[in-house]
């Protein structure tokens, strides 16, 4: 026997022994397909007979002659599946050969996958020679190849019923020799809601196919498509290595990891304890940060912060990351250890929105500790800028209560006002601001807050009543041995910050608040040489404390104008949202003032725009005035200026609006680093209104930024003479700048 005969004989024996075309495989698939409830195809089996069927070996001889071992093996598998009693020749090349160049060309096209060209060649030859008939084997193979192509195309475009239908009429395709077709048919069952049939199809492969890589890939393909119970059935078909290791051990581990990850995203999901044990074992053995993180998120979602802390620290040890720090911070917050949480997450705070949100939660919880604990100055110095930068109303509110706990009522008032500027409907901040004004004996300010929140907050309405000797839950004071007044910053008496329910990193619900208008506190801070809190706003002559976020509209023109209307008129029909365009001009004007009292300036601006349609001069003047005030409250000074010019204004109103506009222009220019424009705006403002102390300090810092040290020193010295601490810091900044310490 020659070498080629040995080769082909060994190949055939190997195929037979491996079960690639063992007897009954096509029948098994036919039964599977017929039982799907839709199709009833029968196997193309050969009817029992005493005659030995004639097997067309044309393709076999062609592939042998071409040396195409892969196609030769597939052809042997096909013939063996069709004719179970057929025995492959020991040497296909030893069979009688007939020279037919035209037919060889057809087989060549077939082997290249050019099936349409094969059909064309057959038709052309039959046209030229009507007596010629193509070999049945060629036609069969061509039909099968076209069916295979149809299955692949249908699977690719997700026409799963077509996949099953074509496969049911071509069972000769369903052998281990063409594993890709088997995979596609199994997927078609799974994707068309026939999970049981999909499980049977994958099981067929595992029971009959022996290639290790293909068996592993079969389970991998089944994992995203089948439920866990069906996967467990497939795992039972696992083959063991001599050392007892299962061939699917890696996949079992991956499945456990996926299970724990799914539980991370859904706190209500119950997973097998075996999955948790598996991932725990993997985390201890392989020490991968990903495994430790998965366990950390699993436990933090189930209110087991101690175990969560253990695994997040293990993740940090393996690979320090923002995700590990974020999870650890949440676990520490859950254990009432916000100081540690803040320290852990500080360096990662700006990684993304989620880490920033959790960091702000840690800050708020630290400030909300009851009773308040002294916080080191370096920690406060890094927390305050983050609160301002994030415009987090919850944290600003906590700063207010923290300052209140140290009897720093003016600073507390500023922080409550700032929180309201970032979230205008925050009742706790409004209550805090009202309470601080009462403690500062600012009765006008208390009355304004009570009027604004009338009918919305009972406790705000009760501030200042005789029975309110000491606010319920108010904290006791703490000696201020190591703190200057400007270093205290915020938490709530009896109302510590409550952390919202945890959501996985991509969806954390502890979200920072969005600003309602710019906060001038940050504007002033940019001019300071030190990293402390912002300059403290000064009390105005009428006794009202002007909070940083309210400096632009310090003259409070809205309250004077709105006060000319009866309260019932101002609030009538204002509690709901409507389209102002359906109102008359006068009704729109009344609604605009009503909305301003409810601190809804954006809606008010729209109502005033409708009121501008009025034919009366006084109504148009009031509407333009109101719209300008609304835009000022929103921090839109450019739009406010345009609105003010829509109708002539009385002299008093004109001065008032110009004063507010120039104030906004100056602070806005300072915030954007336009120092010269800041000074020009302040100069124009000074021509029509006295310069407030905080704006004088702002002018000094603008001169300092321009390195006009003499002018800056002159301004700061004049302001410092009144005891203003910001001005005193400004003098120190000028000294440092002259010595080269500050640019």
Chain center to CA of 26: 50
* Cβ atoms of residues 459 and 428 within 8 Å: no
Residue 318: per-residue pLDDT:
92
Q: Which residues fall within 8 angstroms of residue 250, CB to CB, at 6 or more apart?
A: none
Q: What is the CATH number of domain 650-743?
A: 1.25.40.10
Q: What is the DSSP string of 150-215?
A: HHHHHHHTT-HHHHHHHHHT-GGG-SGGGHHHHHHHHHHHHHTT-HHHHHHHHHHHHHH---HHHH
Q: What is the pTM of this model?
A: 0.48
Residue 34: per-residue pLDDT:
55
The residues with which 246 forms a beta bridge, in sequence order, are 240
Residue 421: per-residue pLDDT:
93
Same fold, 321-516 and 650-743: yes
Residue 338 tokens, joined: 């916000």
Q: How many CB atoms lie within 10 A of CB 18?
A: 16
Residue 274: per-residue pLDDT:
87
- pLDDT tens by residue, 683-697: 888 887 888 888 889
From 564, 598, 584, 580, select the one nearest 449 (Cα to Cα).
598
- pLDDT tens by residue, 163-179: 999 988 888 788 888 88
Fold of 321-516: 1.25.40
* Cβ atoms of residues 706 and 684 within 8 Å: no
Residue 308: per-residue pLDDT:
92
Residue 315: per-residue pLDDT:
92
Residue 458: per-residue pLDDT:
86
d(C-alpha 311, C-alpha 328), whole Å: 9
- pLDDT tens by residue, 301-330: 888 999 999 999 999 999 999 999 999 999
Residue 82: per-residue pLDDT:
75
What is the b/e burial string over 614-646, where b = at least 16 CB atoms within 10 angstroms of the residue's CB? Answer: beeeebbbbbbbbbbbbbbbbbbbebbbebbeb
Greatest alpha-carbon span in the chain:
123
d(C-alpha 104, C-alpha 134), whole Å: 11
Residue 432: per-residue pLDDT:
92
What φ, ψ does residue 523 adopt, rounded to 5°? -60, -50
Per-domain residue ranges for the chain?
3-235, 321-516, 552-644, 650-743
386, 387, 390, 393: CA torsion to nearest 10: 170
Q: Which ranges of the chain have pLDDT less than 50?
A: 1-27, 36-48, 467-572, 742-743
Q: What end-to-end distance do the CA atoms of the chain give, in Å? A: 96
């Amino acid at each position: 026997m020659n070498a080629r005969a040995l080769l082909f004989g060994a190949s055939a024996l190997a195929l037979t022994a491996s079960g690639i075309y063992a007897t009954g495989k096509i029948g098994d698939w036919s039964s599977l397909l017929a039982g799907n409830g839709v199709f009833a195809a029968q196997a193309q089996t050969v009817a029992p007979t005493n005659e030995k069927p004639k097997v067309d070996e044309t393709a076999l001889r062609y592939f042998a002659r071409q040396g195409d071992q892969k196609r030769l093996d597939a052809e042997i598998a096909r013939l063996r599946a069709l004719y179970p009693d057929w025995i492959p020749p020991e040497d296909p090349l030893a069979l009688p050969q007939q020279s037919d160049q035209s037919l060889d060309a057809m087989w060549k096209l077939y082997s290249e996958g050019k099936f349409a060209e094969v059909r064309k060649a057959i038709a052309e030859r039959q046209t030229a020679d009507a007596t010629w008939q193509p070999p049945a084997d060629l036609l069969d193979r061509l039909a099968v190849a076209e069916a295979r192509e149809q299955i692949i195309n249908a699977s690719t475009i997700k026409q799963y019923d077509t996949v099953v239908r074509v496969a049911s009429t071509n069972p000769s395709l369903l052998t281990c020799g063409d594993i890709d077709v088997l995979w596609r048919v199994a997927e078609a069952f799974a994707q068309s809601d026939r999970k049981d049939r999909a499980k049977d199809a994958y099981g067929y492969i595992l029971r009959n196919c022996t290639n290790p890589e293909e068996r592993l890939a079969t389970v991998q393909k089944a994992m995203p498509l089948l439920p866990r119970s069906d996967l467990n059935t497939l795992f039972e078909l696992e083959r063991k290595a001599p050392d007892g290791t299962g061939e699917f051990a890696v996949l079992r581990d991956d499945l456990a990891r996926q299970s724990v990850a799914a539980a991370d995203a859904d706190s209500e999901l119950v997973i097998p304890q075996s999955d948790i044990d598996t991932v725990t074992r993997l985390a201890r053995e392989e020490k991968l940060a990903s495994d430790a993180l998965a366990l950390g998120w699993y436990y933090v979602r189930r209110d087991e912060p101690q175990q969560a802390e253990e695994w997040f620290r293990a993740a940090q040890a393996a690979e320090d990351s923002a995700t590990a720090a974020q999870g650890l911070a949440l676990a520490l917050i859950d254990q009432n250890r916000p100081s540690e949480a803040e320290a852990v997450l500080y360096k990662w705070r700006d990684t993304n929105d989620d880490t920033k949100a959790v960091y702000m939660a840690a800050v708020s919880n630290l400030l909300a500790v009851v009773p308040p604990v002294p916080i080191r100055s370096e920690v406060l110095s890094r927390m305050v800028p983050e609160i301002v930068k994030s415009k987090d109303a919850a944290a600003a509110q906590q700063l207010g209560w923290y300052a209140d706990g140290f009897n720093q009522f003016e600073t507390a008032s500023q922080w409550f006002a700032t929180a309201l500027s970032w979230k205008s409907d925050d009742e706790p901040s409004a209550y805090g601001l009202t309470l601080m004004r009462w403690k500062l004996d600012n009765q006008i300010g208390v009355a304004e807050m009570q009027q604004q929140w009338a009918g919305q907050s009972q406790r705000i309405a009760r501030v200042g009543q005789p029975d309110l000797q000491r606010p319920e839950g108010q904290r006791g004071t703490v000696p201020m041995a190591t703190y200057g007044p400007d270093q205290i910053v915020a938490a709530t008496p009896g109302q510590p910050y409550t952390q919202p329910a945890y959501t996985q990193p991509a969806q954390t619900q502890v979200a920072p608040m969005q600003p309602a208008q710019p906060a001038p506190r940050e504007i002033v801070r940019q001019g300071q040489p030190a990293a402390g809190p912002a300059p403290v706003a000064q009390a105005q002559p009428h006794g009202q404390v002007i909070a940083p976020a309210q400096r632009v509209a310090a003259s409070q023109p809205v309250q004077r104008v709105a006060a000319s209307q009866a309260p019932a008129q101002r609030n009538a029909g204002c509690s709901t949202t409507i389209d102002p365009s359906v109102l008359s001009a006068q009704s729109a004007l009344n609604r605009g003032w009503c909305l301003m009292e409810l601190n809804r300036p954006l809606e008010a601006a729209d109502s005033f725009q409708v009121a501008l349609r009025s034919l009366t001069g006084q109504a148009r003047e009031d509407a333009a005035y109101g719209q300008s005030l609304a835009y000022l409250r929103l921090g839109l000074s450019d739009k406010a200026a345009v609105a003010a010019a829509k109708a002539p204004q009385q002299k008093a109103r004109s001065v008032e609006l110009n004063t507010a506009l120039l104030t906004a222009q100056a602070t806005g220019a300072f915030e954007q680093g336009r120092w010269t424009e800041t000074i020009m705006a302040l100069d124009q403002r000074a021509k029509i209104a006295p310069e407030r102390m905080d704006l004088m300090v702002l002018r000094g810092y603008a001169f300092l930024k321009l390195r006009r040290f003499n002018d800056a020193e002159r301004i700061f010295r004049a302001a410092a003479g009144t005891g203003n601490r910001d001005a005193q810091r400004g003098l120190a900044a000028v000294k440092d700048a002259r010595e080269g310490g500050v640019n």
